[in-house]
Amino acid sequence: MKSDILKVRNIGISAHIDAGKTTLTERILFYTKRIHAIHDVKGKDGIGATMDSMELEKERGITIASAATYCEWRDHEINIIDTPGHVDFTIEVERSLRVLDGAILVLCSVGGVQSQSITVDQQMKRYKVPCIAFVNKCDRSGANPTRVIAQIREKLGHNAVAMQLPIGLEADFQGVVDLVKMKAVYFDGENGEAVRWEAIPENLVGEANRQREILIDSAAMFSDELTEAALEDSVTEELLIAAIRKATLTRELTPVFLGSAYKNKGVQPLLDAVTDLLPCPADVENQALDMDNQETPVRLVPDTTRPVVALAFKLEDGQYGQLTYIRVYQGNLTKGDTIINVRTQKKVKVGRLARMHADQMEEINRIPAGFIGALFGIDCASGDTFVSPGLSLTMTSMYVPKPVISLAIVPEDHKAEINMSKALNRFTKEDPTFKAFVDEETGETIISGMGELHLDVYVERMRREYKAGVTTGMPRVAYRETITQMAEFNYTHKKQTGGAGQYGRVAGYMEPTSEEDFIFENKVVGGSIPTQYIPACEKGFRNCLAKGPKLEFPVTGIKIVINDGASHSVDSSDMAFQAAARGAFLEGYAKAKPVIQEPIMKVVVETPTEFQGPVMGSLNQRRGIIVGSQDEGVMCVIEAQIPLSEMFGYSTVLRSLTQGKAQFTMEFFNYKTVPASITEEIIRKAQEEKKHVA
């Protein structure tokens, strides 16, 4: 295993769904000799692409888990994280971006910059990940790389510059002109493995010269040396590459490459670019937070002699047992070392270490700073930081959104029940946005997550990987209740039915708050409620929150202040005050104008302009507020805020409205009060459901 950090590249491949990133990864692995045959994404040959190791991914042609793999190219070690393209899995994308140093942004030469590319690009921007772009599918009819480059500039705001020119396009796509070397590149052999360099075809010489000028001009902005050389007409390949690299690392320039991964064209020059232009771990500044010092940021140095700081960014339960993907930021993680999980403060002994190649593995003895590898048999959660004893650093924690949709699942038999619980245990550890719990009332297991597809995929994984057959209920929106005005309460709980009595009086008020889900404040003076019963009061109020009195949805955004009460020397107890608090809550709640709130999604539809009217109509029908429409030439982007409950099955509607030419993405926006007419509908449905359960 290599340890020269300058020759390491940790990269991700991000794109819109179906832009062809898994195919591209497959070709990269083939040309770097990690695999010896090429398989299609959709598994036509019954095998499927190497990176899509989960069966489900192969079947649907989508990549779900970001399997990490490594390969070698021109004496460099490249670790690739294949990231999912669907918005429901953005937590996976974000987690991957956290550990990457650079990325390839794959774009379709026909579809161009699509909505998901914009989301992924924003995520890259947030984590300051430098990237190069690859305009794929240049062999497709309608391919127009020039338009895509213009879109990268306009829609993503990148300073995009072409590094290559296409030789022919669509069915006639033959190869590319390298604007740095000023040569034509062709890809021969059955799988395009033989790279042939030739003189630039005559008809392209003029355009190539013009584009090279543009490239030099763009790069010269970042290098005085290059500017001088350009003036003296003595630009060398090294000088030009160095200037482009410098600007790429600071995200001031985005070099654009062309090709068709499926037709085996343009992949090798892209690999050259990964080694030439993307950063090595030493080029990137990483920070951790010092827990002992009020979370002050501390710069991590990719030096193997320093103490270890590493981040577990992905867990997998595969054929080799539990596998924890880890990136080492500092120090040298060696077999037999003792490290500490900062979150749990538990000591862990490093057992087996491995390097992963999709679902195959290679055992290694150490993972030096800057490298990515996997640990065996370590109990941790995704996002945990591991450090050498004596350090107390944590990598920046990531924002985890709350689930917005839930689904009841019932195992088909006893065996399925056992397997289901194993699967849920694994999934909830792997994915912080996926939750599972048992509804005490109905006894059903409820899973919740970020969208329909998100839950769908986990149900399928349960069936396939864990042989846990489950039947699912209708998806349920995570409604919640809150109050809208201040209300007072003064409730006495009194019971005298033989034996010890119960007595407690609780008085105070409740009011809406936007600071937290629940705030409890004790303003009782003079001991009207003895101090020992205050926690019982808080518990009593807190217990009421799980199921709101209005429609049994969780209550949030409520502040309870108690300021008076009464007790009895014999009959008062924790139990009595809990009951009094419950009564007080119900009394106050009824007066505080409770409302139901529902999750609102930010929906972005990208559609050809001719369908703009019908698409707007479809959004408007769904109780949505259309925020605006953005004219993008032939396409237009419509942004709307729509209740999640109205979005079920929207993909089918959109497809039929636009002949399948429009796409949409959806993400959680906020919670809003449900209009009165809809509240009645929800109440009616809830009552029906109750009858059904009974």
148 vs 353, beta carbon nearer another protein:
148
Residue 676, interface with another protein (CB under 8 A)?
Answer: no
**Which window, 128-136, 362-370, 388-396, 608-616, contacts another protein (CB under 8 A)?**
608-616
How many residues of this chain bind another protein (CB under 8 A)?
A: 18
Instruction: List CB contacts of 164: < 8 A, sequence separation 6 or more.
Output: 176, 177, 178, 179, 256, 257, 258, 266, 269
Nearer to another protein, 116 or 567 (CB): 116
Q: Comparing C-alpha atoms, which of 548, 11, 600 is closest to residue 281? A: 11
DSSP three-state, residue 257: strand
- How near is the Cβ of 58 to another protein at its closest, in Å? 37
625 sits near another protein (criterion: CB under 8 A): yes
DSSP string over 581-626:
HHHHHHHHHHHS-EEEEEEEEEEEEEEEGGGHHHHHHHHHTTTPEE
- Least Å distance, CB 19 to another protein, is 22
Contacts of 256 (CB under 8 A, 6+ apart): 132, 133, 134, 135, 145, 148, 149, 152, 160, 161, 162, 163, 164
Cβ distance to another protein smaller for residue 159 or 641: 641
Query: Of the listed pieces 25-33, 165-173, 546-554, 619-627, which binds another protein according to CB under 8 A?
Result: 619-627
Measured at the CA of 91, the angle between CA 457 and CA 476, to 5 degrees, comes to 50
Single out the segment in contact with another protein by CB under 8 A; choices: 78-86, 377-385, 405-413, 620-628.
620-628
CB of 480 to another protein, least distance (A): 16
Selected binder of another protein within 626, 653, 678, 686 (CB under 8 A): 626
238/654 Cα distance (integer angstroms):
50
Site for another protein in 631-670 (CB under 8 A): 631-633, 637, 639
Give the strands of the sheet with 296-300, arranged side by side: 296-300, 286-290, 393-395
* Interface with another protein, residue 612, by CB under 8 A: yes
Note whether 630 binds another protein by CB under 8 A. Answer: yes
Q: Identify which of residues 160 and 619 has a Cβ nearer to another protein in the complex.
A: 619
Q: With CB under 8 A as the contact rule, which of the stretches 41-49, 475-483, 566-574, 612-620 interacts with another protein? A: 612-620
- If the CB atoms of residues 247 and 635 are measured against another protein, the closer one turns out to be 635
Residue 171: which residues within 8 A CB-CB, separation 6 or more? 139, 141
SS3 of 546, please? coil
Q: With both helix axes pointing from N to C terminus, report the angle between 224-231 and 202-220 in degrees, rounded to the nearest 10.
A: 140
In the DSSP assignment, the letter for residue 450 is: S
Output 494 or 672, the one with its CB closest to another protein: 672
Q: Quick one: 24 or 615, whose CB is closer to another protein?
A: 615
- Figure out which of the listed residues 256, 273, 309, 616 binds another protein, where binding follows CB under 8 A: 616
Asked if 487 contacts 510 with a C-beta cutoff of 8 angstroms, the reply is yes
Closer of 368 and 557 to another protein (Cβ): 557
Residue 189 Cβ vs another protein, minimum distance, rounded to whole Å: 44
Determine which residue in the list 46, 628, 649, 660 makes contact with another protein, applying CB under 8 A: 628
Instruction: Convert residues 476-515 into a mask of x (bound to another protein by CB under 8 A) and - (unbound).
Output: --------------------------------------x-
CA distance linking residue 452 with residue 456, whole number of Å: 6
Where on the chain is the footprint of another protein (CB under 8 A)?
A: 514, 612-613, 616-617, 620, 625-633, 637, 639, 672
